[in-house]
Structure 1
Amino acid sequence: MSHQKFMRLFAKWHIWLGWLVGLPVLMWTVTGLVMIWVPIEDVRGNHLRADLPELRTEGLVLPDVPDTVQSISLESFPDGPGWIVVEEDGGRYRYSPTDGRLYNPLLEEGAREVAEAAFAGDAELQRVTYFPADSVPMDFRWPVNVWQAHFSDDTNLYIAAQTGEVLAVRTDWWRTFDFVWGLHIMDLQTRDLETQSQFNHITLLVFAILSVFGALLGCTLMFRRRKARVKANA
């Protein structure tokens, strides 16, 4: 096959690939623009988290924990410091820094107090709802028993029922970002902003490979057109 026939074949492939991958490429560009529009710290609602009190180490008592654990750390909470113990099975528990006792899981009133102390926005707390690990809301998606504190500006704070830790802040912009991220990776089911979940699934890989192939064909055709112009000018 002659060089010109190869180029005509490349041009035909390039046109068909352009029709096939044009929409995904436009979607990747638009969703990428949306995702960089607001700093990721604001998307995650860091500006809505109240400053935690400074840790004080005087008079600390080590917690009474099992013989083997993954880690023990002293952390700050809205109501003061606490030991966070991660046991071998991954379970997280909070212990008192003054007498070493294990804290009981939060009840509704305790979750409400934590939410009001941890939220730095102006909206009012409307309700507090408990969700077990196997049925958490879509805008949380971690397998953890949590309290959802819902505020009047549609912000949700998620508080770990066992430890009282504020695990996530979810705003309207976060939910928009989350949806756009799902479009960007072509996976609206298992997307996960916090852990940057696996997105090398077959749909995305196929369209990405076709896009690269189409771009390479376009670059090849550019050289062909450039040579054609040079001959015409000669």
Structure 2
Amino acid sequence: MRSRHILQRLHVWLAWVAGVPLLFWTLSGLWMVARPIDEVRGTGLRAPLAPLVAPAALRTPPGSLKALALERQGDRLVWIAVRPDGASFRADPVSGRGLAPVAEPEARLLAAAALAKPTAIERVTRSTAEQPPLDLRRARPAWGVMFAGGDRVYLDADTGQVLALRTEQWRAFDWMWGLHIMDLSSRENSSHPVLIGFAALALLATILGLVLLPLSSRRRR
């Protein structure tokens, strides 16, 4: 009898401690699965890709390259090149000469071209690879172009490539994901002591409940 009483008290305390994270997990998980993922990602907001019509004579950038791809940016084609050390740049496909990094006026044009129905641009910010915005998740120098309504397009400042499209729903989804894994700072670490500890407590409370259930039923009979 005494051991059963101790187990019951322990189960109650464990349930109280584990109840808060369980509520957070259930609430955040329910919110995330209730949102269509294409709507969260803003798939329908992107402009359709225009066909590539390459010039008759292509000239590649000089030097050793790790990767090379042809991409349309606005009304022109550019090479997107990656050197062996990981540095990225863009080049003219006709001459092969490197092109200048993206300046703010071009960033505005490229961001608007990336959307099917762009709204008014409210703000443009520049970030470094060392301190990228939290919702970018890429260690790249970038332009962040915010449109009316909260949609934001991130462009690589060196190559002009679209790195990410973030909607208001994406940011809410991202916050819920951070709550779900109990990491609101980086929202990427799903294996840390706090999460593991609360999960272990929730598992222990569940096991104790299953052990006590037949004992309580036998006692009532």
- TM-score normalised by the chain length of structure 1: 0.84
| Structure 1 equivalent of residue 5 of structure 2 | 8
| Structure 1 equivalent of residue 45 of structure 2 | 48
**Identity in percent:** 37
| Structure 2 equivalent of residue 28 of structure 1 | 25
| Structure 1 equivalent of residue 129 of structure 2 | 133
Instruction: Give the Cα separation in 1 of the matches to 2:75 and 2:35.
Output: 31
Mapped contact 2:144–2:155 kept (Cα < 8 A): yes
- Per the alignment, in what secondary structure is the counterpart of residue 133 of structure 1? coil
| Structure 1 equivalent of residue 192 of structure 2 | 201
For residue 184 of structure 1, the aligned residue among 180, 186, 194 is 180
Amino acid at match of 2:26: T
| Structure 2 equivalent of residue 216 of structure 1 | 207
Deviations 1:15-36 (A, max 9, x none): 1100111011011000011111
> Structure 2 vs 1, CA of residues 122 and 75 (structure 1 numbering), >3 Å: closer, same or farther?
closer
Comparing 140-149 with 178-187, greater Cα deviation is found at 140-149
Deviations 1:112-151 (A, max 9, x none): 1111211123522233332232343333242211111111
Instruction: Give the Cα separation in 2 of the matches to 1:21 and 1:46.
Output: 37
Instruction: Give the Cα separation in 2 of the matches to 1:10 and 1:43.
Output: 45
Contiguous gaps of at least 5 residues in structure 1: 192-196
- Per the alignment, in what secondary structure is the counterpart of residue 153 of structure 1? coil
Contiguous gaps of at least 5 residues in structure 2: none
Instruction: Give the Cα separation in 2 of the matches to 1:60 and 1:183.
Output: 53
Report the alpha carbon displacement of residue 152 of structure 1 after superposing the two structures with TM: 1.1
| Structure 2 equivalent of residue 18 of structure 1 | 15
Mapped contact 1:158–1:169 kept (Cα < 8 A): yes
For residue 144 of structure 2, the aligned residue among 131, 144, 148 is 148
For residue 105 of structure 1, the aligned residue among 101, 106, 110 is 101
Amino acid at match of 1:160: D
Amino acid at match of 2:213: M
Superposition CA RMSD, Å: 2.1
Instruction: Give the Cα separation in 1 of the matches to 2:62 and 2:6.
Output: 71
Deviations 1:65-123 (A, max 9, x none): 432x4322334444354332222222222233333222211112211111121112352
Amino acid at match of 2:88: R
- Per the alignment, in what secondary structure is the counterpart of residue 81 of structure 2? strand
| Structure 2 equivalent of residue 225 of structure 1 | 216
